[in-house]
Chain A
Amino acid sequence: MGEVNPDLQSRVVKFPGGGVLVAGIDEIFNWARSNSMWSLTFGLSCCAIEMMATAASHYDLDRFGILFRATPRQADVMIVAGWVSVKMAPFIRRLYDQMPDPKHVLAMGGCACAGGPYRDSETIVKGVGEIVPVDVFVYGCPPRPENLIHGLILLQERIREESILGVRKREPITVQG
């Protein structure tokens, strides 16, 4: 997960002008990554309908360069839309592992964030954060398309702060419903 050699940062700073070079490359790489977040096509339950609506004519995710790829090998962002059952959890972890780095996860809806109304059920995972590292939690039941887009824009901003050198920030962003 971007955890490169920990003393790399200090070596670059010793090299005169190294910081400037890395900052320039970071800016270009992050521009490309944040503007081309291809998302994995899958929906787990009712939030998926809202996700599809966000991609369709009215809200049009393609405006931001976000399009849906059917295979995890070509996806950058996983939008977990809906409750995660205990039976489904291994498959979600497997899909996450199949995605090439750098990859990000967005949990959509109260169920994916924390279990939602099924939190007391033994067959529902209490938030997808228990199986994969989540970058953005978008609450709501379901979140409106505007909320999902807001979450994705926050994810874009987060990608723009990343560096090819460092460890990624892992405190998740929360979008209230």
Chain B
Amino acid sequence: MIEQALANPWIRQLANAALLLAVINLGVLVLIYMERKVAGFIQSRLGPVHVGPRGWLQSVADALKLILKEDIIPAPADRFLFVLAPFFVFVPVLAVFLVLPFNAGWVAHDFSLAALYVIAAGTVAIMGIVMAGWGTNNKYSLLGGLRSAAQLVSYEIPVVLAILAVVFYAQSMSLVDIAEAQRGFGWFIFHPPLLVAAFVYMIGQLAETNRTPFDLPEAESELVSGFHTEYSGIRFAMFFLAEFANTFFAAALAVVLFFGGWDGLPGLTGALWLVAKSYVLVFVLMWIRWTLPRVRVDQLLGFAWKVLVPIGLIVVLWAAASVVYAGGAKP
């Protein structure tokens, strides 16, 4: 019965999407707990300890409380944009997970342009952020939304260049092929051009996920909370969910692109290796977030266009040259 139903491609994709949604939601609860604990230990505090054993249930309590809060739509807001914006931010994040390979054969949908699709689908979220900023009719939200748009558009380019360098090495845009090409510890991070590309990618993703050295869109000391200033309860929870899911996706994509995907020591399932490596990278992102101060907005854009983009272009040329003249992926 279940096999018959799963043979239908539509039902199969729906089942995959539902499974991914569950995994993402659980993963985000873990990430929020981890963020607060890491923040605590970095600031020599403890973080949550009272709710559940060692505070494990803290994010469950937070999520439940946010669902139960009053849902406010401010009178001057544009209702249509205000209601639609959280979905525009959350759905692209869910959509990019569809092509992420967790293990050999563990991918909801693999196709030959997956790397391009990740970039294209991820960019739709900027629309949602600008909609939220404009639709709430609040000056802080508008400034936050516009800053966010400028930042995300600028940092998308170095990320694309870094992914392009990887695509040269793997000779494919399918994420499954890219991960397969690194089997047996032939990780792309060990190749000099891609080591630089990995740095460019991580800095770019740090900015795209709005984390602290680049968290200008929601800078508390100047913009209250940026584009989600007027959102309360469940709608704010969706922005929060999207932000943390995006952080996890950025780390998981880095693992697939540079750190061998599900490749690891034998004995454990590949998916566990992928998730473990992703969490290490997420920890690095949190470490940076709670250590560095915020940059200024002109420094932010100057850094993207004057430093990261030129480095990205050089890396692309370097990667292309090493693929053509030095045999590239087989050192």
Residues of chain A at the chain B interface (Cβ within 8 Å): 28-29, 31-33, 35-36, 41, 56-57, 60, 62-65, 67, 69-71, 73-74, 76, 98, 100-102
Contacts and interface: CB of A to CB of B under 8 A. Distances in A.
Contacts of A32: 60-62, 64-65, 68
A101 B68 CA distance: 9
A33 B68 contact: yes
The range of chain B's interface size is 35 or more
B61 A62 contact: no
B40 A62 contact: yes
Contacts of B220: 41, 70
A62 B48 CA distance: 5
B51 A35 contact: yes
B40 A100 contact: no
B299 interface: no
Interface in B35-53: 36, 39-40, 43-51
A86 B192 CA distance: 65
Given A41-B220, A60-B46, A62-B45, A71 B68 contact: no
Contact of A57 (B43, B55, B72): B43
Contact of A73 (B43, B50, B58, B230): B230
B70 A101 contact: yes
A102 to B, nearest CB: 8
Contact of B232 (A35, A36, A65, A73): A73
Given A33-B65, A35-B61, A100 B46 contact: no
Contacts of A56: 43, 45
Contacts of B51: 35, 65
Interface string B218-248: 0010001100111111001000000000000
Contacts of A28: 64
